[in-house]
Amino acid sequence: MTATLVIGPYSDTDLDALEKTFKPVAIADPSGIAGLEKSTRAAIAAVAFKGHLHFGGSEMDLLPNLGMIANYGVGYDAIDVAAASARGVKVTNTPDVLNDDVADIAVAMLFMQGREMEHASRWARSGQWKEKGEYRLNRKISGGKAGIVGLGRIGREIADRLAAFKMDIHYFARSEKDTPGWTYHADPVSLARAVDYLVVALVGGKETEKFVSAKVIDALGPLGIVVNISRGSTVDEAALLNALEQGRIAGAGLDVFLNEPDIDARFYALDNVVIQPHQGSGTVETRAAMGQLQRDNVSAFHAGDALLTPVN
């Protein structure tokens, strides 16, 4: 009899570790729960969850003895936490271990887009450097004004890095933080108006949907660059696409999109966007740490110990 259900697209390494540790039942996504035998479902006490497909109350109700869901990732917007809480189900995530990698990608996308590094690379490789000599000038990024939307753990890591590039740091958060020298904005439009670079580090979920609205994007202006490493949902993607296509902002660096991996094809036609395939936390080291933390949460639950990183 197994007590753990594994859901999601894991790497071989992670799946091996899960299998060794828990001898679980494994399925590809939450829709597979309904296809399990009733006795199998009744035995499940913990779910190790990975992915962006919805895991809601109706799925939880198919698992009458479920006590916890351990999410792989810091963002747990795919899981209906309110529904879990209502059923006495604890949810955990994997915070902190991925902060550095995600912040690295955010900062690198800002410079890669702002300094046209991908375009310059293609230009050189296509023989145009040899033929034409100097590459066109772009804009200086360091020393400029950066706005962080959401100053949680990852947002702060991004701001700390950008500060080393002598950037003037502005931020939006639900409340002002203890950040000497950084400028707080209670309103994202005011933030966008004050800066050239907007880095979105919000949590996902309903509450932050389209938080970076058409109005915010318009306030950024023609030298503006939007960087998003949070969730595609946090930005009004239609408004962003329009602004990019019409040159109303300079560019974007995006690791997250709506409907990943089948993202809006309009992005592919743009050469003022750095497109990353949601690889912010995608390093060997960090994914190993995330998998370990997920498994440690499941083990703690089975052992009756305190969960390491509960979210409810």
Catalytic site includes residue 176 = no
Q: Which of 176, 207, 245, 260 is catalytic?
A: 260
268 vs 12, 42, 264, CA distance in Å? 30, 46, 8
Q: Taking the chain, what is the end-to-end CA distance rounded to the nearest angstrom?
A: 28
CB 109 → its own copies: shortest distance, Å?
7
CB within 8 Å of 92: residues ≥ 6 apart: 68, 69, 70, 71, 294, 297, 307, 308, 309, 310, 311
Residues in touch with its own copies (CB under 8 A): 9, 11, 100-101, 103-105, 107-109, 111-112, 115, 117-118, 120-121, 123-125, 129-130, 132-143, 160-161, 163-166, 260-263, 268, 274-279, 282-287
* CA 176/CA 166 separation, integer angstroms: 22
CB 212 → its own copies: shortest distance, Å?
21
Instruction: Tell me whether residue 160 or residue 305 sits nearer to its own copies (CB atom).
Output: 160
Q: And the tokens for 197?
A: 């670079």
- HSE, side-chain direction, 13 A CA sphere, residue 150: 22
175 vs 43, 172, 186, 233, CA distance in Å? 44, 8, 7, 22
Instruction: Tell me whether residue 8 or residue 188 sits nearer to its own copies (CB atom).
Output: 8
Q: Which of 170, 278, 287, 295 is catalytic?
A: 278
Q: And the tokens for 214?
A: 């058409």
CB 187 → its own copies: shortest distance, Å?
28
Question: Is the omega angle on the peptide bond into residue 261 within 30 degrees of 0, that is, cis?
Answer: yes
CB 160 → its own copies: shortest distance, Å?
6
Q: Which of 41, 231, 287, 295 is catalytic?
A: 231
Q: Put the strands of the sheet holding 251-254 in their side by side order.
A: 183-185, 168-172, 145-149, 197-200, 225-228, 251-254, 273-275
Instruction: Tell me whether residue 208 or residue 294 sits nearer to its own copies (CB atom).
Output: 294
Catalytic site includes residue 237 = no
CB 184 → its own copies: shortest distance, Å?
21
CB 107 → its own copies: shortest distance, Å?
7
Catalytic site includes residue 119 = no
Instruction: Tell me whether residue 111 or residue 189 sits nearer to its own copies (CB atom).
Output: 111
By the 10 Å C-beta count (0-12 exposed, 13-18 middle, 19+ buried), 116 is classed as buried
> Which DSSP helix (H) or strand (E) runs through 199?
strand 197-200
- What residues are annotated to the active site? 231, 260, 278
